[in-house]
């Protein structure tokens, strides 16, 4: 039987985070990854320990330094290995333990600017006036305003005059000088897409929206126009900037491209709000600025997407049974959590695994990571966690029991910061 590597990796990560450790996840090539399900090695600097998952040998291995207290962790990992019919190996070392390929990755970073290199993309190279970055049969061509100084890290990502996507003899000019958008477009074309098809057009529109939103946020902050009445609008703009940036990153990845295409299609299928947003009156003091009016449609779109997404999440929770969650959550009994955030983060992570709805599962996974990082929840995230915990732990038909559970979880969630 094949090992569900992603699920086991997620459980290892959650177990370590539940212990209160700061964990770095690495894939089989020794590259640092943000998604625990992509990890096969999990490193903790303090105390010094390393957990390795080898799906080929069907083994979980724990290596610790001589001074590390390891009994509880060793027993938990051994139980996890038994649950998935894996073998377990344990060793103690008298030296600093690091992921096997981490040193290789560090040495390579001196030759490549890792900010400019992504999965499948080569390093940026070229002359003093032109830079190139290849992806199979597609190439990104960057023209610079000033000569590139090779001695300055990331120089080929700066002073951009124009960006082109080249496929064979065809060359297309990007509407925006956004390298992240260019990499997303290059991956789209490499996957068989076209510059001006639905997804290609959406990439262009998102790049334009990204620039306008950045100009808007920079302007209102520099001009000291942000106040209590318009702060929510600025936060929406910042959320949208972050969302577009993450979308470009996922579109550029070979493993995340297909699922992100669906997100892009959903993003642009949301019905726009009809209500007028009088941004001008919220930000204009003695004069009117185009940088405010330029983002009206973008803000309206973002608000509509937020409303649609929140409705979709609420609908998913109402239809979710969280089958199998009881067994997953029961693992709490063998784990010691150093903080309430770590405990709740673990529970939310288990709910994300048990969820049958992909969108809800992804959203809960994001909240779990946020809690593990000790970050505050916003109001909707707080409400989502509360609703999921109630849905997962109580029969919907017993109102008196549900009321008791709601009171219990309300007290539990009151420990956490929101907003």
Instruction: Give the pLDDT of the chain (419 residues) as one tens digit per residue.
Output: 567 788 899 889 888 888 888 888 888 877 788 788 888 999 888 888 899 998 888 889 998 877 777 788 888 898 888 888 888 888 877 556 555 544 333 333 333 333 334 567 888 899 999 999 998 889 999 999 999 988 887 889 889 999 999 998 899 999 999 999 999 999 999 999 999 999 999 999 999 999 999 888 888 888 788 887 778 888 888 888 888 988 998 899 888 898 888 888 777 666 655 555 555 566 655 445 677 777 777 787 788 888 888 888 999 998 888 877 766 656 555 556 667 777 788 888 888 888 888 888 888 988 888 787 777 788 888 889 888 888 776 554 444 444 454 555 555 565 555 44
Q: Pick the closest to residue 147 from 137, 159, 164 (CA basis).
A: 159
Q: How far apart are the first and last CA of the chain?
A: 45
Q: Pick the closest to residue 256 from 33, 99, 102 (CA basis).
A: 33
Q: Is omega for the bond preceding 160 within 30 degrees of 0, making it cis?
A: no
Q: Pick the closest to residue 283 from 304, 299, 259 (CA basis).
A: 299
Distance, in Å, from the CA atom of 16 to the CA atom of 70, rounded to the nearest integer, reads: 12
Distance, in Å, from the CA atom of 119 to the CA atom of 10, rounded to the nearest integer, reads: 21
Tokens of 172: 């297309």
Question: Going edge to edge, which strands form the sheet with 87-93?
Answer: 32-33, 23-26, 41-44, 49-54, 59-65, 87-93
278 contact partners, CB below 8 Å, separation of at least 6: none
């Amino acid at each position: 039987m094949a090992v569900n590597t992603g699920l086991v990796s997620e459980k290892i990560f959650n177990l370590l985070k539940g212990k209160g450790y700061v964990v770095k996840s690495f894939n089989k090539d020794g590259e640092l990854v943000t998604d625990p399900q992509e990890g096969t090695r999990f490193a903790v600097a303090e105390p010094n320990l390393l957990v390795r998952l080898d799906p080929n040998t069907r083994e979980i291995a724990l290596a610790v330094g001589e001074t590390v207290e390891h009994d509880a962790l060793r027993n938990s990992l051994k139980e996890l290995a038994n649950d998935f019919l894996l073998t377990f190996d344990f060793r103690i070392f008298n030296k600093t333990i690091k992921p096997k390929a981490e040193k290789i990755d560090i040495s390579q970073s001196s030759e490549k600017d890792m900010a400019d290199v992504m999965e499948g993309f080569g390093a940026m190279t070229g002359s003093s006036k032109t830079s190139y970055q290849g992806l199979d049969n597609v190439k990104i061509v960057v023209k610079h305003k000033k000569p590139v100084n090779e001695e300055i890290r990331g120089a080929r990502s700066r002073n951009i005059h124009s960006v082109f996507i080249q496929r064979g003899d065809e060359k297309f000019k990007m509407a925006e000088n956004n390298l992240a958008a260019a990499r997303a477009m290059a991956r789209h074309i490499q996957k068989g897409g076209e510059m001006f098809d639905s997804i290609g057009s959406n990439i262009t529109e998102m790049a334009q929206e990204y620039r306008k939103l950045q100009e808007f946020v920079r302007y209102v902050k520099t001009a000291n126009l942000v106040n209590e009445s318009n702060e929510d609008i600025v936060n929406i703009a910042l959320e949208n900037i972050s969302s577009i940036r993450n979308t470009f990153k996922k579109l550029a990845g070979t493993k995340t491209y297909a699922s992100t295409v669906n997100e892009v299609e959903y993003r642009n299928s949301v019905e726009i709000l009809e209500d007028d947003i009088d941004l001008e009156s919220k930000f204009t003091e003695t004069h009117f600025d185009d940088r405010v009016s330029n983002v009206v449609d973008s803000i309206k779109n973002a608000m509509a997407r937020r409303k649609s997404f929140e409705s979709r999440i609420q609908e998913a929770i109402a239809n979710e049974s969280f089958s199998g969650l009881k067994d997953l959550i029961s693992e709490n009994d063998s784990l010691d959590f150093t903080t309430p955030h770590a405990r709740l983060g673990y529970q939310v992570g288990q709910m994300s695994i048990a969820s049958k709805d992909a969108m809800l599962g992804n959203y809960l996974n994001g909240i779990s990571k946020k809690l593990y990082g000790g970050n505050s929840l916003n109001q909707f995230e707080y409400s989502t966690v509360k609703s999921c915990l109630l849905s997962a732990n109580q029969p919907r038909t017993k109102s008196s029991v549900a009321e008791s559970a709601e009171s219990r979880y309300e007290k539990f969630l009151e420990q956490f910061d929101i907003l």
